[in-house]
A and B are shown apart, each in its own frame.
Chain A
Amino acid sequence: MISQQHHQLGPADPAGPPILQVRGLRKVFKIRSEGSRRTENLVAVDGVSFDLPPSGSLGIVGESGSGKTTVARIIAGLEQPSAGTVLVGGSPLARRRRRRRRRVQMVFQDPYSSLDPRQTILAGLDEVLRLHTKSGKSGRRARALELLHQVGLDERHENLRPRSLSGGQRQRVAIARALACGPEVLILDEAVSALDVSVQGQVLNLLAELRTQIQVAYLFVSHDLAVVQQVTDDTIVMHRGRVVEAGPTDAILTSPADDYTRRLLAAVPRPGWKPSRRADGG
């Protein structure tokens, strides 16, 4: 049974027991440098803890290499932590694949590789629904179309393959696929970073809208503070694998307490912003 006891809590209720509890997460990668036999330890994530309330929305920001994606992948179950615990709805991730997957889903950064190029949109959704629901063929199609509508697509897209869709449309399909599993936590790993700014806005609006319709919590991983501001209630700032600041998103963006956060904010281009260095490769 999937625990649904918190579904009555709205996004604004911070008092509900957290749907996602992360405690003391640590991940060490062993790197073997070329030519030498000894391995070096790279601490990618170091002592990360946070809570995510049901239907809440938490941003993880930081520069590339700060460990934010590793945190996301551990929570999704794609990586094993070296230490620490991840509790979903109070219990550790189930060993049973199917059960675990219903609870946490993820949308990836690159819209061009995150869908099977050989599968039509409907087939992709149907496959997931067949695994997770007991409904028959027509029931699954109805649900698939409902999901497509929820993400702003429709019948015209059902028989297309990913290559006929734009990047924004592909991310919508990826979101629909993730939602088809009926997750309680949706991880969005730089999910709009590869999109044009205008398309980014559309997808962010969609995400904000979805959260009012269905009970799902967002874990929004991004390097882009402006994007995080639009869809998250709380934010943690990561730097070199550690959490350097945590709190309500608005507070962090308006009055950052940590020096690193201030530098991160100062690096955001805004109107009137003059690049101090050109072609900094970053």
Chain B
Amino acid sequence: MSLASVNLVTVEPASGRRRTRLDPALAGIGAVLVLLVLAAVLAPLIAPYSPDQGNILIANAPPSPAHLLGTDAVGRDIVSRLIYGARLSLLGPALIIALATTAGVTLAISAVWIGGWYDVVVSRVLDLLFAIPGLLVAIIAVAVLGTGLIAPVLALSLAYTPYIARVLRSVALRERRLAYIESVQLAGFSGWAICLRHLLPNVMPLIRAQATLAFGAALVDLAAISYLGLGVQPPTPEWGIMVSDGQASLLNGYPLESISAGFLIVVVVVLVNLLGDRFAIRAEEAG
């Protein structure tokens, strides 16, 4: 008996972990994003000038060795503002995704596990949230809580929760019906243990893909809210604010502030979406 089974063992490293081939595209995207995050974190060390103090005498200066992208309408260095702006522009969506993913995963997994009327209620609430436009919620939140980072982040977290929860619920429902879940249930484990140790890790690839894709969308939404003047307020450096601040200069023939900030938003969103697509493909392969 054991003789036959021995020959069937496929060779695998002792750690048992499947070796994932390094995907060059994935590594490239990751490297650029890591650099951006590093730049945001290390802004005070990297940025050549203060983001807030400008020299009105050199307002709207063209690109030069001293100011690589020139200066804005009040003479602030655009490169420095972009670097400092990366902080809030990346932190905002990161907070949104952290909150929305936590809420979405909790709702989806608990709905799948508890089932019954609770599942029905959760599903209906998610449908309801889907019907409400995120920007509208953000405007209401700002009206209640005032402008700043918190109101739009909370509003958009609420708006993104159903996107994470609904897809996850259907996948987790399928996973929950697999025999291995019933088998750990039979072994006597609590619902908590089964969800945390078995169900959640097995749907993690999907969560990662969903969260990454939502990050790009949240960044655009948050920039739009800042552009509308409902988010963090000038003179705080933030990409959405820079797009809106630069508008007047743009019309006067100094387009660099708006365009460079807008360009960064596009680049980050495209990179993050590419990353999310890769994750989604992997999740499909794994599942």
Instruction: Write the residues of chain A forming the contact surface with B, with a CB cutoff of 8 angstroms.
Output: 76-78, 97-98, 100-102, 104-106, 108-110, 113-120, 127-128, 131-132, 152-154, 156-157, 159-161, 163-166, 168-169, 172, 174, 177-178, 180-181, 202, 205-206
Contact = CB atoms under 8 A, between A and B. Distances in A.
A127 B197 contact: yes
Contact of B6 (A113, A120, A156, A172): A156
A117 B202 CA distance: 8
Nearest to B286: A117
Contacts of A172: 5
Nearest to A119: B198
Contacts of A161: 12, 16, 18
A78 B10 contact: no
Contact of A115 (B2, B180, B189, B197): B180
A100 B188 contact: yes
Contacts of B8: 165-166, 168-169
5 contacts: A77-B186, A106-B183, A118-B198, A127-B184, A160-B9
Contacts of B5: 152-153, 166, 168-169, 172
Given A113-B178, A115-B180, A153-B2, A106 B16 contact: no
Contacts of A106: 182-183, 186
Interface string B195-226: 00110011000000000000000000000000
Nearest to B198: A116
Contact of A132 (B1, B2, B188, B197): B188
Interface of B: 1-2, 4-6, 8-10, 12, 14-16, 18, 178-180, 182-190, 197-198, 201-202
A114 B188 contact: no
B229 to A, nearest CB: 47
A182 B9 CA distance: 27
A169 B14 CA distance: 18
A164 B10 contact: yes
